[in-house]
Every structure is written in structure tokens, then in C-alpha cells.
């Protein structure tokens, strides 16, 4: 082993020590799952975290994967404030794609690396209780806000983390698809960022990491903001510097922090081993969200 490699391993020791038994919730976005090598790297990183004593819990998205299947079926995808408008046929496709190929793909790749991953949706063990979401949308300040009915889109009302705690205590790594159940047993499509934020809160996670396809939160000039607080976030959403899919991400990061989650970062899942670099280096990568 070169001394360089030894130095790197030794440098990681204080982090490994401080992370022991810590729960870390990772939101794995659909845009970060594009490349086979990256997916394998992600599976290896998650397995490594588990073996060195952390408790990783993965909540995955799959927006682009859902859109691709809908497209093949001749159904177009429409989003409002980062939420997919979801009618009944769309809901069937969402549940099929998220719970099927995407969830089981991640499970299988982690198990291939020697981890013990188990796939769940929010229906399993009553994990994600939800209710219908209404979207408040205001195009600009001079217009009154519109209330948009997005169909079978849900918001989380309650997380029952028993199934997660049971699995992690036995050495398993839960991999969660963002589908929830309503009070009458109806199925809801929930934005994966929001699910991940609520799960991070319910588990009082020490770390909450959102992996996406950009380096983090960018400013108006497209430069990375390494740390952003609630006030700047509000301003940047208002002037549309932050838009689309970044809005639910950043809102749930704030909510998680306000409710006891340790530290929250938004990182680029397209960077090889982004997760390890964020956790085990002093500089970190991406954007840290603060309140
Ligand atoms: N200020 C911003 N900084 C970074 N990304 C932004 C910003 N505003 C909007 N975005 C968009 O948000 C996207 C990430 O959200 P999304 O597409 O939902 O990703 P994911 O599938 O990972 O959840 C980025 O690819 C970018 O197009
Ligand atoms: C309501 C809503 O928008 N649900 C999302 C669920 C998947 C998701 O969030 O995937 P990403 O994290 O890859 O964007 C959707 O249907 O696309």
C-alpha cells in the first residue's frame, strides 16, 4: 500500500469514529441514476457506510425513469412546482416503475456488493401515511395565487419508522420508494425529496444528503453556493434563481433541519463517490443548507 493510500485511510478515522451508529438518510434522485458505473459506485458507497458502522437509509426517486415509460406509452409528463400531475393511469405507472425496476435495481446492486438491502414502498409496515396535496402556485406577485389540484399527489402526514428500525437493527439497508397510503387505503405519488425529509426527521438522522444532477444550489451566475441559509433561499425562490425540482429539495432540507436533523447537504450524484467525498473530507462538496 502506498503511503498516500494509508494517509487517506488514516485521515478518515476521526470521521468514522464520529459517525459510528449514526443514521444517515440519503435521497438518491432519478437524475443521478443515469450511468451503470455511477450506480455501481453508489451501491459500493452505501455498502461501505454500513460496514463501517453507519446506518444508511436510502429514499430513491425515479422521475426521469417514470417519464420515459409514460413517454413510451404516449402519455406526456407535466410538472407544477416540481410535482408530477398524476391521474389514475399515471399513478399505476409511477408505482410500477418506482417499486419495480428502480427499487429492485438498487437493492440488487447493493446486495451484489455484499450489503443486505431490502426494498420497501411507503405501503410496507404502514411506513408512509399521506393525504392529498393541493399546490399553491403564484406565477408572479401581481397575480393572485392559484390552487392547483395535481391529482393523486400526496403529502406526508405521518411516518411510522418501525419497519426501518427493525431492518437496520438486523443489519439490513432499507431502500424506500416514495409511494404512500391515504386514510382509506388510496395510493399517493409523493415527491421523493419530501419523503426523504420526513423520514430523516422521524429517524432524527444525523445527516440528510440529497443527491441530484447538479453540484448543489447554484446562484444566478450558475456558481455553486457552498452554504445557503433560509433567508437567501426565500429570496432566491422569489426571484426564480431557485426553481423547478430544486424547490421541494431545498424546502424539505429546511424543514428537516428545523425538526432536529443534524446536517443537510445537496450534492451532485453524477460525481463518482460524491457521498464518500461529502462525508469523509473536511471541505465536503455541494451545498450545505442551514437555518
Ligand atoms: N438554483 C438552482 N440550483 C441548482 N439547480 C436548480 C436551481 N434551480 C433549479 N434547478 C434545477 O433543479 C434540478 C434538480 O431537481 P430534479 O430535476 O427534481 O432532480 P432529482 O431528480 O435529482 O430530484 C436541477 O437539475 C436544475 O435543473
Ligand atoms: C409527485 C411527484 O412529482 N413524484 C415524483 C416521484 C419520483 C421522484 O421524486 O423522483 P426524482 O427524485 O427523481 O425527481 C414523480 O412522479 O416524478
Quote the ligand 1 centre to 80 CA distance (angstroms): 14
Residue 53 confidence (pLDDT) = 96
29 Cβ closer than 6 Å to some ligand 2 atom: yes
**pLDDT tens digits, 137-192:** 877 778 888 899 999 999 999 999 999 999 999 999 999 999 999 999 999 999 99
Kindly tell me if the per-residue pLDDT of 7 is higher than 90: no
d(CA 16, CA 49): 9
Report the SS3 class of residue 157: strand
Quote the ligand 1 centre to 244 CA distance (angstroms): 6
Residue 12 confidence (pLDDT) = 86
Mean pLDDT score across all residues of the chain = 95
Banded pLDDT at 2 (limits 50, 70, 90): low
Which atom of ligand 2 lies nearest, measured to the CA of 245? 14
Kindly tell me if the per-residue pLDDT of 254 is higher than 80: yes
269 Cβ closer than 6 Å to some ligand 1 atom: no
Angle value at C-alpha 278, between 273 and 279, nearest 5 degrees: 100
Residue 4 confidence (pLDDT) = 80
Annotated binding site for substrate: 62-63, 84, 189
Residue 11 confidence (pLDDT) = 83
Question: Nearest Cα to 198, choosing from 159, 230, 161, 160?
Answer: 159
d(CA 40, CA 198): 27
Residue 85 confidence (pLDDT) = 97
Output the nine-digit C-alpha cell for 162.
418501525
Which atom of ligand 1 lies nearest, measured to the CA of 217? 3
Which ligand has the nearest atom to the CA of 58? 2
**pLDDT tens digits, 47-58:** 999 999 999 999
Residue 141 confidence (pLDDT) = 77
Q: Which of 42, 60, 178 most suits a substitution to test ligand 2, by most atoms within 8 Å of the C-beta? A: 178
**pLDDT tens digits, 93-143:** 999 999 999 999 999 999 999 999 999 999 999 999 999 999 888 777 788
180 Cβ closer than 6 Å to some ligand 2 atom: no
Kindly tell me if the per-residue pLDDT of 263 is higher than 80: yes
Sign of CA dihedral 122, 127, 131, 134: negative
Residue 138 confidence (pLDDT) = 79
Q: What is the mean pLDDT of residues 33-50?
A: 96
Q: What is the mean pLDDT of residues 228-257?
A: 94
d(CA 4, CA 23): 30
Q: What is the mean pLDDT of residues 77-93?
A: 94
Residue 142 confidence (pLDDT) = 84
30 Cβ closer than 6 Å to some ligand 2 atom: yes
Which ligand has the nearest atom to the CA of 212? 1
Which atom of ligand 1 lies nearest, measured to the CA of 218? 3
194 Cβ closer than 6 Å to some ligand 2 atom: no
Question: Nearest Cα to 55, choosing from 18, 23, 17, 19?
Answer: 23
d(CA 187, CA 178): 11
Specify burial of residue 39 (Cβ count, 10 A radius: 0-12, 13-18, 19+).
middle
Quote the ligand 2 centre to 282 CA distance (angstroms): 32
Sign of CA dihedral 151, 155, 159, 164: positive
DSSP 101: I
Specify burial of residue 226 (Cβ count, 10 A radius: 0-12, 13-18, 19+).
middle
Residue 82 confidence (pLDDT) = 83
Banded pLDDT at 81 (limits 50, 70, 90): confident
Quote the ligand 2 centre to 162 CA distance (angstroms): 24
Read off the pTM.
0.95
Angle value at C-alpha 57, between 56 and 63, nearest 5 degrees: 130
Quote the ligand 2 centre to 70 CA distance (angstroms): 13
93 Cβ closer than 6 Å to some ligand 2 atom: no
Which ligand has the nearest atom to the CA of 190? 2
196 Cβ closer than 6 Å to some ligand 2 atom: no
Amino acid at each position: 500500500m502506498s503511503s498516500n493510500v494509508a494517509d487517506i485511510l488514516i485521515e478518515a478515522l476521526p470521521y468514522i469514529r464520529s459517525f459510528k451508529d449514526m443514521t444517515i438518510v440519503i435521497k438518491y434522485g432519478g437524475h443521478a441514476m443515469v450511468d451503470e458505473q455511477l450506480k455501481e459506485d453508489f451501491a459500493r458507497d452505501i455498502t461501505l457506510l454500513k460496514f463501517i458502522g453507519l446506518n444508511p437509509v436510502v429514499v430513491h426517486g425515479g422521475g426521469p425513469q417514470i417519464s420515459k415509460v409514460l413517454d413510451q406509452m404516449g402519455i406526456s409528463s407535466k410538472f407544477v412546482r416540481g410535482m408530477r400531475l398524476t391521474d389514475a393511469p399515471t399513478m399505476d405507472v409511477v408505482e410500477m416503475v418506482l417499486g419495480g425496476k428502480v427499487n429492485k435495481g438498487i437493492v440488487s446492486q447493493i446486495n451484489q456488493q455484499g450489503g443486505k438491502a431490502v426494498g420497501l414502498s411507503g405501503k410496507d409496515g404502514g411506513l408512509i401515511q399521506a393525504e392529498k396535496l393541493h399546490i399553491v402556485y403564484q406565477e408572479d406577485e401581481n397575480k393572485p395565487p392559484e390552487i392547483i389540484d395535481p391529482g393523486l399527489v400526496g403529502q406526508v402526514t405521518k411516518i411510522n419508522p418501525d419497519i426501518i428500525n427493525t431492518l437496520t437493527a438486523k443489519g439490513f439497508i432499507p431502500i424506500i420508494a416514495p409511494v404512500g397510503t391515504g386514510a382509506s387505503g388510496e395510493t399517493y405519488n409523493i415527491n421523493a425529496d419530501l419523503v426523504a425529509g420526513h423520514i430523516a426527521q422521524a429517524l432524527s438522522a444525523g445527516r440528510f444528503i440529497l443527491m441530484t444532477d447538479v453540484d448543489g444550489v447554484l446562484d444566478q451566475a450558475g456558481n455553486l453556493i457552498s452554504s445557503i441559509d433560509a433567508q437567501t433561499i426565500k429570496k432566491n425562490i422569489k426571484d426564480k434563481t431557485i426553481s423547478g425540482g430544486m424547490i421541494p429539495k431545498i424546502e424539505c432540507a429546511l424543514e428537516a433541519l428545523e425538526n432536529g436533523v443534524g446536517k443537510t447537504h445537496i450534492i451532485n450524484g453524477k460525481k463518482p463517490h460524491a457521498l464518500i467525498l461529502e462525508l469523509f473530507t473536511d471541505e465536503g462538496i455541494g451545498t450545505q443548507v442551514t437555518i
